[in-house]
Amino acid sequence: MDIKKSLKDVVVLVAICVVFATILAAVNSITAPIIDEQLADAVNQTYEAVMPDAEGFEDVDLSAYSLPATVKEAKRETSGKGFAVMLETKGYDIGMVLIVGVATDGTVTGATCVTSAETNGAEKTYGGNFAGKDKDGVLSVDLIAGSTLTTSAYRSAVVDAINAATVLGGGSADIRDEAQILSDNLNAALGLEGAEFTKVFMVEVVAGAEKVYSENSGKGYVALVDGKYVGVDADGNAVKVIDAETNEVTEGVDELKTTATAAVAIVAATELTEVTYDGEVSNKHCTITKIEKTATGNYVFTMDMKGHGIKGDKHEAYPSGKPSVIKLSISAEGKVIDTITLENNESAKWGGPYLEEGGFVSNFLGKTEAEAGDIDFVAESTNTTNSYKQSVLYAFEVFTALEGGATNE
């Protein structure tokens, strides 16, 4: 081996790399400003598009205002016609950037999507639904089936733009997000401040109560009844009723308090007994890790769901290295009572959002086995949603076997 020749080759390669790096840096120093300028021009044209009557725009210093977290930039129309607001939100994927024009009367002058990583493309034309609408009108715009996450995020961002424009114009607006509004309502219903709550996983069919939340330190529960949050303290006494829409205390609702206290009493008294099952507890979509039963004959199944890691009939490695953990309860009458994802290991970009509360899993609430079988999986998240559906059907199969009936073949 000729060491001198090898060293010479290395020196030559290093020199070539240095030359190319220098050239690339020089090219970048020339092209980057051009690209940035073109991008800026495109954004400015978008501002003009969402407020066609604008005479011009000036930047707004957002640091002096409390605005929704989605707001990234805003421009004031120079003749006082309103504001154009840039927002970044998360729909089906992260990074959907919108620009929304808002007139001084709080109506939308236009809305468009600047950049997006969404999959169905609904965001490209959805903005046309909002022109001329105020906040109530925006909230009445229908979501697009098959693009619920995308269009829901879009619609919420438009509301954020209206709120931001109101604040920037010297007015006041409720800029809390849905999670903060919920927390504030739950606290108000129990007469608390700063308490934390957990949504109760329901294992009993409770008449009248849509949801129940427990205060984490044991101070009581809050039941959602007919659009009202009803607080029930640890002694079973109703505290306050908060309207979910107005966020204000509601009087004269004794029947709601009666419904809530009865629901909370059932939830607080529920006990689960683990069930031994000698049959199969696993298929290609899931493995049942625990079965429990209530005194009223309802069953609770905890399962490892093998979602995005399955390709056809062949098991492949999970992207995260492990399956998601899901849980569902089935009433003695054979209907799904509740569902919850205990551990979501699906991709944040693809299947993950469908396992969150309000996502694909909510389709199964109240469904029988036959009805659950009719629910279609989501095309752009086939592995996750189909595996979830098949996991629910497998739980029904085991439920039938436990009740002494014939299992599905």
* Structure confidence by residue, pLDDT tens digits, 123-168: 889 999 999 999 999 999 998 876 777 888 899 999 999 999 999 9
Six-digit token string for 73: 């930039």
Same domain, 70 and 154: yes
Same domain, 147 and 242: no
> Higher pLDDT residue, 319 or 362?
362
Is residue 114 scored above 80 in pLDDT? Answer: yes
In a domain, 34, yes or no: no
pLDDT of amino acid 66: 92
What is the domain range of residue 84?
Answer: 57-168
Same domain, 355 and 377: yes
Question: Pairing mode, if any, of strands 57-59 and 238-243?
Answer: unpaired
Same domain, 81 and 122: yes
Is residue 318 scored above 70 in pLDDT? Answer: no
Is residue 27 scored above 90 in pLDDT? Answer: no
In a domain, 32, yes or no: no
Domain boundary among 144, 168, 192: 168
Same domain, 292 and 394: yes
In a domain, 39, yes or no: no
pLDDT of amino acid 152: 86
Same domain, 293 and 251: no
Is residue 321 scored above 90 in pLDDT? Answer: no
Mean pLDDT of 344-359: 80
* Residue-averaged pLDDT of the chain: 85
Whole-number Å distance between alpha carbons of 190 and 7: 77
Give the total number of structural domains in the chain.
3
pLDDT of amino acid 37: 45
Same domain, 311 and 237: no
Same domain, 85 and 99: yes
Domain boundary among 112, 139, 168: 168
Which amino acid would we find at residue 397? Answer: E
In a domain, 317, yes or no: yes
> Higher pLDDT residue, 68 or 358?
68
In a domain, 11, yes or no: no
In a domain, 151, yes or no: yes
Q: Residues 249-258: pLDDT tens digits?
A: 988 789 999 9
Read off the pLDDT band of 22 (50, 70, 90).
Answer: low
Is residue 35 scored above 50 in pLDDT? Answer: no
Same domain, 291 and 354: yes
Whole-number Å distance between alpha carbons of 215 and 211: 13
Dihedral angle of Cα 84, 90, 93, 94, to the nearest 10 degrees: 80
pLDDT of amino acid 25: 52
Report the share of the chain in percent with pLDDT over 90: 63
pLDDT of amino acid 117: 75
pLDDT of amino acid 245: 84
pLDDT of amino acid 45: 76
The lowest-confidence range among 96-105, 209-218, 312-321, 399-408 is: 312-321
pLDDT of amino acid 119: 67
Same domain, 243 and 319: no
Q: Which one, of 232, 369, 178, 205, lies nearest residue 298 by Cα?
A: 205
pLDDT of amino acid 379: 78
Q: Residues 58-101: pLDDT tens digits?
A: 999 999 999 999 999 999 999 999 999 999 988 766 678 999 99
Is residue 335 scored above 90 in pLDDT? Answer: yes
pLDDT of amino acid 42: 56
Mean pLDDT of 111-130: 85
pLDDT of amino acid 311: 45
Six-digit token string for 246: 């107005």
pLDDT of amino acid 137: 95
pLDDT of amino acid 315: 41
Q: Residues 167-181: pLDDT tens digits?
A: 999 999 988 888 899
Same domain, 304 and 261: no
Q: Give the bridge partners for 300, in sequence order.
A: 292, 329
Q: Residues 366-377: pLDDT tens digits?
A: 999 999 999 998
Whole-number Å distance between alpha carbons of 316 and 216: 39
Read off the pLDDT band of 16 (50, 70, 90).
Answer: very low
Domain boundary among 136, 168, 200: 168
In a domain, 10, yes or no: no
Q: Which one, of 160, 162, 144, lies nearest residue 152 by Cα?
A: 144
pLDDT of amino acid 199: 95
Q: Residues 201-242: pLDDT tens digits?
A: 999 999 899 999 999 999 999 999 999 999 999 999 999 999
Whole-number Å distance between alpha carbons of 388 and 110: 39
